[in-house]
Structure 1
Amino acid sequence: MNKYIAKKILCMGLSSLLCSMGAEAQTIMKNNVSVSNLAVSRTENKLFISIDIDVSATGIKNNRELILTPSLTGIGDSLMLPQVMIAGRNRYYHHLRNRLSPDAIFLYQYGGIKLIEYRHVIPYESWMDNAVLNISKEICGCCSTMLSKEDALLIRLDLGPKISVPKVFVPQFVYIQPEPRPKINAVKGSAYIDFPVNRTELYAEYRRNPEELMKIRATIDSIKNDADIRILSVSIKGYASPEGSYANNARLAKGRTETLRQYVQELYDFPDTLLT
């Protein structure tokens, strides 16, 4: 294999790697040159640059050549890296005859390679910490006449020493809602409602009834107005005085209790199933 065609391959162990950066695949130069597996890393005194360059869609004619030039630009300094040339058939053999320097440029014939594995190592300098890695593309014709040129940004480096900031523990408060555990309580109250003799009609203003009916309302309201309590049932039990026959007293007790049930139901709009 001709030494001008051979590509450089870098194989070394990085035992003292300090910082590294990478970037995702991107298409540059009007969609006919793309780069992937871009990585920049450094040790104390070396900077490593790794780029995979896809040139399969460049379409270089016989008398033309494409030159790719990576470069680093920082504050007050810059560095041009070795170039990559993809040449058409005529230009390729022209460069072979004129012995193009393999240290300054990597030469490839168009059609002979699709993916160029660009690997380069340079001495590390402090200005490179925040430098910009660019790449330019030149299309040249016969006699190396430049026909077009484009520039593209590949990555902004951030390889300087990192300041270690102590982590501050910030607790996260999480509210755990307890599972609902319903508790059933019974509330009792008593009232003495006056009815006319031998009658079952309820008169709210009769004798002490206003005060006694207020006791019933106070008992129910103490539960109904509590948002955390739900009324499950209301039970009403009624009695009648012992005078007269048992049958008549049973009729009065049942009738008067039913009358009070209807009064409470209408007062609170309770469903029928709630009151017994």
Structure 2
Amino acid sequence: MKPYHINKKQILIMGCLGMFPLFSSAQDILSTSGTSRWDYSNSRVEREPGRDALDITFSVFPLAGLGSQEVAYLFPVYVSADGRDSVRLEPVCVAGKRRYKVIKRRKALGNLKPGNPGSGEVRSAKVLESSGLTVKRSVPFERWMADGRLVVREVSYGCAECGTNESEDIAFQAGIPLFGEKDYAYSFIEPEKVMIKCYKDSFDCKVVFPVARHDLQEDFAGNAQELDRLKKFLSENLNIQGTSLKEVHIKGYASPEGSFDYNRSLAQRRTQTLSDYISRQYPALKNAPVYRTEGIGEDWEGLKSMVSGSTLVNRDEILFIIGHNERDTEREEAIRALDDGRSYRLLLEEFYPGLRRTTFGLSFDVRPYTVEELPEIFETKPECLSQHEMYQLAGLYASRGMSPLPVYERAYGQFPDDAVAILNYANALLKYGQDADGALRVLEPVTNDSRAFFPMAVAYNMKGDWRKAEELIKKAGMAQGKQKLSGEPGDGGNNQQIEM
């Protein structure tokens, strides 16, 4: 069993989005402007794992002294990259030494009108120089916040209480890791190699025999055309590249009117007639290690299937009769008794002829194909390819600049219950078809497989459901962490080829 590998890019994404705190600090991203008189370097933005919230910390220290008579207002606002969205933090008011005393006295005397500078909460510039100030706010996280920035507008007033200066500065630029298109990675898992494959095919030959006879008349009732169809089926299968015939099974069926024993005997004779005829045309059939002819007789199962898919008025009654009577004679008598025999006559005319047939079943062993042979076999007989060979062909298509989506789709159709076929087709739908809905439908049977978490995250993100995408990224990261701790391989134990 091959070891299970996860893309390094996927590990980084899963770690950043699911396993560690997500933050951006001013010190790491943006140095304070040389012209600013405030230091914002201890400001930061954090998005903790497990919480769908953004924590904004606005920290300010004076870099240059504030005039003794000056009042400065700082208005911090967290703004989106396009400027359309914003979150306001509590404004900060700082006053110089003399102005701070004046404001305190006027507040005490009650003669500082609302709206005048210093009418709200005021901090002393002297205190701020020693301890600084921090303003915090926690808000529900939105996608636009990932690359937002903290903008600080400053308005300062001199002794005349008129606006003397107004400026704007960027305290810091956030860079919160967020799962997006740049992070999409597609894992195509290499299936196990199969050295010997088995290919089977069958053909229902509806050659018509005269009533109660078993001699073949080629010019009777369209038999020539039906025999040509049989020969075409045999020629195509006996000439498939890389195959060896292992078994021929010829089965004869009859419609269920008349005696059961007689019908089985007649079916056996007719089957033998066709076997003799066709083996003279194709002697290679007799060289198969297993060559069998069998007269099945009355085909009640075939009738049941045909009636089930019909619009017969008495459909349910006929199906009940077939299912609840064990003896063939009892079934036939009960059907004849329905509605004065009208249903029986309809079956006799429209359903029974299709039951009189001879089925030719062929089984082959198929050798592994070379890479050079794969394109032709895929075009002519894809049923003969193993899942691993289709994986190889998909890689060949990709290397030639061709979309391998049809190859992965065929593998999925041929192996619909195989987890690797499901995962590979889903990844191909995402990478080459940008079909998020289709990928999610395909992945429905394997949603508990940890290998499905990442492609599901990509699909949901394509659909705009980034919250669901992040949940799945975290889930994928935790699953990978558990596998590392336990020393166990991932589900399926297969290699992965990563395509970005």
- TM-score, normalising length from structure 2? 0.26
Larger proportion of strand: 1
Specify the structure having the higher radius of gyration (Cα).
1
Higher share in helix? 2
